[in-house]
Structure 1
């Protein structure tokens, strides 16, 4: 993934917004990226901000709570966002339509029109979890032609940790 990030971003600082429905795994992923280990988390009320440096790029990651009562506040975080990480609980088939609606609400906002989209297809270790190609279809990503987007499988952390992939190969 490092080669892809370097090609896209070069040497600089990026503002990244991490969103998704509640209990999708956003905070777990954030701290796995930051600390390199799993930590116990509680539901985020408000936001967490961490700087993660990878391949000469400083990512200022804003992890905002995903409870439905907090979602109307997401738009206040859009300004200046260069990348969106949208985390999906792939085992939660009952709420995939809700996730799709929220994703499209975000990316259709004029403040987010230039943001690169990374979908973390999270919780791949759980039984009956939707695979990345199914997430791509269910979220309606194939209809997005004017934006850069990518779906990455994960298990509560960076995908290379769990999927046997070389993080630098992408």
Structure 2
């Protein structure tokens, strides 16, 4: 009986008090943006994801909140588009492969370059260290230091370690994002 009540309650919330929020997911190529979005939207994790060309969008439903997630390509030719797709969103999610130390400097540069845009002032930032299931990964504290997250101002900034493959810490990510639903 409790399960039926919950389904009716969730339907009422979605129907009469639904909230939709826009989220942009960015990061360098191979960070796991598309894999994360697939898992969040209820699909299976696949090891052989095709790189995103341009962008892709999926909606993720959680209770009365629908997260409209834009997954932008991370290759150098797509990075100039990031700022345009980040304008006016409810949250920006920057994903970093924490097991690939060779990309950290470039990831830091791209993140800080993007966050310096006045058009993005005040938009909350969530940095996700993906691939926490792999050896030689950075800890969350090491990622915060490597990305110099304490230097980013004019917004709320948070950082989590996740694994899209193992679905580690994804509930915390969704809860953090839902805080900013309007």
**Secondary structure class of the residue paired with 1:35:** coil
State the structure with bigger RCO (CA 8 A, min sep 6), 1 or 2: 1
Structure of higher CA gyration radius: 2
Segment of structure 1 superposing worse, 59-68 or 109-118: 109-118
How far the C-alpha of 1:11 sits from its partner, in A, is: 5.8
- Indicate whether 1:120 and 2:119 are aligned: no
The TM-score, its normalising length taken from structure 1, stands at: 0.83
Gaps of 5+ in 1: 1-9
Are the aligned partners of 2:87 and 2:119 in contact in 1 as well (CA < 8 Å)? yes
How far the C-alpha of 1:37 sits from its partner, in A, is: 2.9
**Secondary structure class of the residue paired with 1:95:** helix
Are the aligned partners of 2:115 and 2:152 in contact in 1 as well (CA < 8 Å)? no
Residue deviations 1:45-99, cap 9 Å, x none? 1111011122421111000000011111222212221200100000111110110
How far the C-alpha of 1:13 sits from its partner, in A, is: 1.4
| Structure 1 vs Structure 2 CA RMSD | 2.3
Aligned partner of 2:156 in structure 1 is 148
Number of aligned positions between the proteins: 158
How far the C-alpha of 1:119 sits from its partner, in A, is: 1.0
**Secondary structure class of the residue paired with 1:126:** coil
User: Equivalences for 1:1-170 in 2 at 5 Å?
Assistant: 12-39=19-46, 40-156=48-164, 161-162=167-168, 167=172
The TM-score, its normalising length taken from structure 2, stands at: 0.78
CA distance in 1, matches of 2:31, 2:99: 9
Gaps of 5+ in 2: 1-16, 177-182
Segment of structure 1 superposing worse, 32-41 or 115-124: 32-41
